[in-house]
Amino acid sequence: MKSIVRLTALKISNIKNVRTGQIVMPNTCQKQQSYQNAEVLGLYGQNGSGKTAVIDALYYLQKAMTGSTLEEEIADYMDAGSDQAEIAADFHIFTETVVYETSYKIVLLRSGRGVNIARETLSCAVNEGDSRSNKTVFMDYQRSNRETVFAPKKRLDEIVGANAENKTDLIVARKIAEKSNCSYIFGESSREIFCRNYENPFRHYSEVIDALFQFALKDLFVIRNTHSGVISANFLLPMAFKIEQNEIGMKGDFAVPLTGPVILSEERKKILDIIVEQVNMVLYTIIPGMKIDVHNYGMQLTDAGEDGYRVELISVREGMPPIPIRMESEGIIKIISVLNVLIQAFGHPSICLAIDELDAGIFEYMLGELLDIFRKSAKGQLIFTSHNLRALEMLDKDSIMFSTVNPDRRYIRMKNVKASNNLRDTYLRGITLGGQDEVIYEETDSLRIARAFRKAGRTIQHE
């Protein structure tokens, strides 16, 4: 079987306005080591309380775990009062005979206008049969330590023992990673060495590194606010997608202009046709009687001088003439943009989908129904932020975490919630009356707000 990777927890430090915060997935909260069920985790809280920081941290974690270069812009996401930030993720990796409990931590250090990877650690416990090994660090890379390629020496010796040339290759790979500002553990040059077939104890760790890389590359989807931003601007429709056909897998964002037709190569048109076909299987049930289609205006040369097709996405409803997709509401376009990956997460236990502001433009009753169906029937993981409280009536208490006003403990679950309680009412009561471990709402004074508006209004009148 292909290994199945599940995120179990994420801890972040000094990212945006979060000094310390940890989210824990429902199965882990319930002490279940399983991939047989869907896991939904919603993040709720007032504006500016650190919800989006989780989605941004997952985005940069994915960058690191795919061996991509970390852009200078990540420095803007670090706490302005600190030169160091950390992202630590825990995973369960399920294979046919072994379950690995794995933790990956990356330490970022401000450097000039950008950021360097100062340290990376991977630790692992091996569950095989009825035995479980202790969780130990099997790879510790420190940029400042020039004396050794990585620690512990025991693991380095296992790699070098398999082939003496590996040591030179690992030193070269380290220099390449540092120059490219990418992960040393997951960088292409070093990963190629780590993921070979080893006959010694390193075989377990080789399997872990490969599984985490494949998960980040193929199964982790992070949809940030920028995704919704281009939709709101009526500029692009970025369709997040994953396709598995003829043993060839593809994933990414298929960006379709909303301003008019686009010229696509034959290969890209085939991909778009497949995405549209998959989306239509579900779309007509969410928005009754509606489907989308690829309208083909005919052959036209691409900018590269190759044969292409001039196409446009259109909306087709029963009994109505087709219209360009840009004429539909922002909410419908938002649903279409994430529907393919929602379908993937519904059907595959290894898919983890993180969406910022899932509720943007979506009718609240529909949002609740989608979340309820996902929780009951899906196989993958869904992490989302939202302001719409309908989800609190549809999900159980382990599927919701709330941001607090304490930057040193940003995320908590509600305590003293009985199965019969309405979580929405409990949350609103917690805002007004307190009673939780942390303050979950920084109080606003309606009289002061009204006075401030009156004062500002008078100032405008005088100008």
Comparing 191-195, 279-283, 442-446, the range with the smallest average pLDDT is 442-446
Mean pLDDT over residues 304-327, rounded?
A: 91
Q: Which of 299, 291, 285, 250 is nearest to 271 (CA)?
A: 250
Give the tens place of pLDDT for each residue, 198-251.
998 899 999 999 999 999 999 999 999 876 667 766 678 888 888 876 555 688
How far apart (Å, rounded) are the C-alpha atoms in residues 370 and 106? 34
| Residue that has been written with the tokens 């609190």 in this structure | 392
Residue 420, pLDDT score: 57
Render 45-109 in DSSP notation, one character per residue: -STTSSHHHHHHHHHHHHHHHTTPPPPGGGGGGB-TT-SEEEEEEEEEEE-SSEEEEEEEEEEEE
How far apart (Å, rounded) are the C-alpha atoms in residues 352 and 402? 20
Burial of residue 147 (CB within 10 Å: 0-12, 13-18, 19+) is exposed
Residue 419, pLDDT score: 62
Contact by Cβ (8 Å): 102, 122? yes
Contact by Cβ (8 Å): 401, 391? no
Give the tens place of pLDDT for each residue, 368-410.
888 999 999 999 999 999 988 888 888 888 999 999 989 999 9
Share of the chain above pLDDT 90, in %: 58
Mean pLDDT over residues 39-55, rounded?
A: 91
pTM of the predicted model as reported, rounded to 2 decimal places: 0.90
Residue 246, pLDDT score: 57
Contact by Cβ (8 Å): 10, 368? no
Is the pLDDT reported for residue 342 higher than 80?
A: yes
Distances from the Cα of 125 to the Cα of 4, 63, 121, 157, angstroms: 16, 24, 14, 20
Q: Residue 291: beta bridge partners?
A: 316
